[in-house]
Chains A and B, each alone.
Chain A
C-alpha cells in the first residue's frame, strides 16, 4: 500500500457525562490510501458517524478526542487550532451527509452555496467561481446546470439535491471525502445512481472516500477495503473480497451470512442474537462476546487486538488460533 492519505491511530472519543465518561470510540485505527474507497459498516450506534466527525474536527461538544491521532498526508490534524482545521474542511477533506433534504440551506440558491464554498477555499473571482460551479453541477448530472444554478434547494428532488451536496463536497477538489450514509435517506430506485456517481467522481478526480453505510451490498460493489465496526471498535478490516469470502471475525461472519440478497440492511440482523451493548454497558474483554456463538472463557477477560488473520485483520482471539 502506498503512503496513506489519512492515517487514524488509536483514535478514542469520549463523552463526559454526569454518570461518568462514555467511551464512544475505543482505539480505532485504520488508514486510507490516495484514491482508495474504504467502506465502513456496522450497526446503528457503532460509532461510524463519530469517526467521520472526529476526523474533520466537528465532534459535537461535550464529545472530545481523548486519545490517539489523525494524520492527513503525514501531518497531524487532531487538536489543530479551529481556524487551521476550518481551512482543511472542504478544501482537503470534503463531507457528504445523509439527508439531502436538510443539508442545504433552504434560503440560498444552490449557486450561491457552491460559489461561497469555492471562493472560501480557492482564490477566484465571482465569475470564475460561478463557471466552476456550473461545471460541477454538470459533472454531478444536474441537467441544464447553467440555468438551474439559480434555483433554490426546494426546487430539486431528493436525488438531485444529493447530487448538489456531492458537488458541494467536491467543488474545492479535496483529496478525501467522508460520505456518511449518502443514500440511506434516498429512494431505493435512486440509491444505486448516487453510489455510481460517487464512485465515478472519486475515480476521475483521484479522490479517496470513507464510505459509511449500513448496506453491505453497496460496500461489496463500491469499496476497495472495508472496516467493520462494533461498539466503538473495529472488529475486522481488510480487502472487500476477502472479508466477504472468508471473514475472520464471528461478527463479520454473522453480517456476511446475511448478504446474499444484495439489498441487505444491517438493522435486520437476525442471524446474531441480541443487540449491540450501550456505551455505558460495554462488557470487559471482547465487546462482542455475549452475542458470540463461539465465545470461550478467555473472551470475557482479554481484549483482542486487531491483528492479521488470513488476508484480513481481525480483533478476535479465535481468529489466530
Chain B
C-alpha cells in the first residue's frame, strides 16, 4: 500500500517538473513585465535597475531553480497588476473556488448516480428517455450559456436567487466560507448548477451505459439465479462494478471543474481564482498566471493519485496478491 503510494508519487514528479518548466517559461519570457510595471516612459537605466532587483538578469537555470524554490515555499512573486504577493491573492481567492467546485461536484454526483442507475435499470421507461434527452442538452450547451440562461430565469425573471458574488461570508481563520450564511448558500446555487451541469450529465450517461453493460454480465445473472433481492443486485453488485470507470470520470471532471470554473466565475463574478486568472490574463499579470498554471498542475496530479487509491480500494484484483492466498 505504502509502496504503491510512493510509486505513484514518484511518477507524479516528472509531470510536476514539466508543468513547472512551462510555468517558469511563461513567467519569464511571455510579455514584458518591466514595461507593464514602469508604464509608458522610462529610461534604460531604470529598466536595468528593476531587472536587477527582480533577478531577471541572471542565467535562465538559476532563475528556474529560484522560481521552483520560491514556489515550494509558497512564494510566487508579486502580482504586476495588484502589487500584492501572488500567494496572498490565491489564499484569499482559493476558498471561494474550492467551495464552488466541491458543491458543484457533490451536487452532480448526488444527482447523476441515482439518475444513471435508474436509466440503466429501466432504459425503456419514459423518465429514462427524458433524462437522456435532457442530458444531451447538458453535454452540448456551453457552460457560459447555461449560466446566462439560469441568471435570466432565476435572477432576472423570477428574482429568486442572486446573479453575482458570494453573498455574506464568514471568516474562519485563513478560510472564508459561504456555507454558513443564508445569503452565501443562495449565492452558491446558480454557479454550482452551472459548473456542475456538464459533469452531471457526463456522469449520468456513463453510469447508465456501465449499468446496462454490467446488468448483462454473468455474475448479475447468477446473482438473480441465487434469488438475491433486486435492491442488492442493483446497488450492491451492479453499481459497485460500474465504479471504476465512474471514479475515473469524476476525477478527470474534477480537473475539468477547476478549469471550467474560470468561465463560471466570470459569468457570476465569483471571487475565486478563476476570476483572478481571467483578470490577470487581461492585464498580462504573468506571475499570477504562472502560479495558476502550477496550481492546476498540482490539482490534477493530486486528483489522479486519489483516483488511483480509490481504484485500489474498489477493485481487489488491483491489489498485490497476499502471500498464501493467490495461486
Taking the nearest CB of chain B, how far is it from the CB of A67, in angstroms?
24
Contacts of A89 in B (CB 8 A): 224-227
Instruction: Please tell me if the beta carbons of B316 and A120 are within 8 angstroms of each other in the complex.
Output: no
Known A-B contacts A105-B237, A107-B314; A120 and B228 likewise in contact (beta carbons under 8 Å): yes
Does chain B have a CB within 8 A of A106?
yes
Distance between Cα atoms of A47 and B226 in the complex (Å): 22
Chain A, range 56-94, C-beta contacts under 8 Å to B: 56, 58, 86-91, 94
Distance between Cα atoms of A169 and B219 in the complex (Å): 13
Distance between Cα atoms of A117 and B327 in the complex (Å): 26
- Which of B217, B222, B229, B321 has the most chain A CB atoms closer than 10 A to its own CB? B222
Contacts of A97 in B (CB 8 A): 218, 221-222, 225
How does the 8 Å CB contact mask read for B73-90 relative to A, with 1 for contact and 0 for none?
000000000000000000
Contacts of B221 in A (CB 8 A): 58, 97, 103
Chain A, range 93-119, C-beta contacts under 8 Å to B: 94-95, 97, 99, 102-109, 116-117
Distance between Cα atoms of A58 and B229 in the complex (Å): 14
Does chain B have a CB within 8 A of A151?
yes
Does chain B have a CB within 8 A of A184?
no
Does chain A have a CB within 8 A of B168?
no
Known A-B contacts A102-B219, A152-B316, A155-B321; A90 and B241 likewise in contact (beta carbons under 8 Å): no
Chain A, range 146-193, C-beta contacts under 8 Å to B: 147-148, 151-152, 154-157, 165, 168-169, 172
Instruction: Please tell me if the beta carbons of A90 and B317 are within 8 angstroms of each other in the complex.
Output: no
How does the 8 Å CB contact mask read for B286-327 relative to A, with 1 for contact and 0 for none?
000000000000000000000000000011110001001111
Q: Looking at chain A, what size class is its interface with the partner chain?
A: 35 or more
Instruction: Please tell me if the beta carbons of B327 and A104 are within 8 angstroms of each other in the complex.
Output: no
- Which of A58, A105, A109, A151 has the most chain B CB atoms closer than 10 A to its own CB? A105
Does chain A have a CB within 8 A of B223?
yes
Instruction: Please tell me if the beta carbons of A120 and B218 are within 8 angstroms of each other in the complex.
Output: no
Taking the nearest CB of chain B, how far is it from the CB of A153, in angstroms?
9
Does chain B have a CB within 8 A of A121?
yes
CB closest residue in chain B, given A171: B226
Contacts of B228 in A (CB 8 A): 86, 90, 116-117, 120
Instruction: Please tell me if the beta carbons of A90 and B227 are within 8 angstroms of each other in the complex.
Output: yes
CB closest residue in chain A, given B225: A95
Instruction: Please tell me if the beta carbons of B226 and A120 are within 8 angstroms of each other in the complex.
Output: yes
Instruction: Please tell me if the beta carbons of A106 and B219 are within 8 angstroms of each other in the complex.
Output: yes
Instruction: Please tell me if the beta carbons of B316 and A121 are within 8 angstroms of each other in the complex.
Output: no
Does chain A have a CB within 8 A of B232?
yes
Does chain A have a CB within 8 A of B186?
no
Main secondary structure of the interface of B (DSSP, over half): helix
Distance between Cα atoms of A286 and B228 in the complex (Å): 41
Instruction: Please tell me if the beta carbons of A104 and B222 are within 8 angstroms of each other in the complex.
Output: yes
Number of contacting residues on B, CB 8 A?
27
CB closest residue in chain B, given A101: B218
Known A-B contacts A116-B228, A121-B227; A107 and B315 likewise in contact (beta carbons under 8 Å): yes
Contacts of A90 in B (CB 8 A): 225-228
Contacts of A154 in B (CB 8 A): 316-317
Chain A, range 115-148, C-beta contacts under 8 Å to B: 116-117, 120-121, 147-148
CB closest residue in chain B, given A95: B225
Instruction: Please tell me if the beta carbons of A165 and B227 are within 8 angstroms of each other in the complex.
Output: no
Instruction: Please tell me if the beta carbons of A58 and B327 are within 8 angstroms of each other in the complex.
Output: no
- Which of A99, A109, A116 has the most chain B CB atoms closer than 10 A to its own CB? A116
Chain B, range 89-111, C-beta contacts under 8 Å to A: none
Instruction: Please tell me if the beta carbons of B224 and A91 are within 8 angstroms of each other in the complex.
Output: no
Taking the nearest CB of chain B, how far is it from the CB of A24, in angstroms?
18
Does chain A have a CB within 8 A of B240?
yes
Contacts of B316 in A (CB 8 A): 106-107, 109, 152, 154
Distance between Cα atoms of A165 and B229 in the complex (Å): 18
Instruction: Please tell me if the beta carbons of B227 and A104 are within 8 angstroms of each other in the complex.
Output: no
Distance between Cα atoms of A14 and B228 in the complex (Å): 26
Contacts of A109 in B (CB 8 A): 316
Which listed residue (B218, B222, B232) contacts A116, Cβ 8 A? Answer: B232
Contacts of A155 in B (CB 8 A): 321, 325-327
Distance between Cα atoms of A165 and B223 in the complex (Å): 11
Instruction: Please tell me if the beta carbons of B232 and A87 are within 8 angstroms of each other in the complex.
Output: no
Which listed residue (A91, A102, A152) contacts B317, Cβ 8 A? Answer: A152
CB closest residue in chain B, given A97: B222
Instruction: Please tell me if the beta carbons of A157 and B327 are within 8 angstroms of each other in the complex.
Output: yes
Known A-B contacts A155-B325, A156-B327; A103 and B240 likewise in contact (beta carbons under 8 Å): no
Contacts of B224 in A (CB 8 A): 58, 86, 89
Taking the nearest CB of chain B, how far is it from the CB of A96, in angstroms?
9
Instruction: Please tell me if the beta carbons of B219 and A104 are within 8 angstroms of each other in the complex.
Output: yes
Closest 5 pairs (CB-CB, A-B): A90-B227, A95-B225, A89-B227, A102-B218, A90-B226
A: residues with CB less than 8 A from B are: 56, 58, 86-91, 94-95, 97, 99, 102-109, 116-117, 120-121, 147-148, 151-152, 154-157, 165, 168-169, 172
24 contacts across the A-B interface (CB closer than 8 A): A58-B221, A58-B225, A86-B224, A86-B227, A86-B230, A89-B224, A90-B227, A91-B227, A94-B225, A94-B226, A99-B218, A103-B222, A105-B223, A106-B241, A107-B241, A107-B315, A151-B325, A152-B316, A152-B317, A155-B321, A156-B327, A168-B222, A169-B225, A172-B227
A107-B241, A107-B314, A151-B325 given; 6 more Cβ-contact pairs under 8 Å: A95-B222, A97-B225, A105-B223, A116-B236, A147-B324, A155-B327
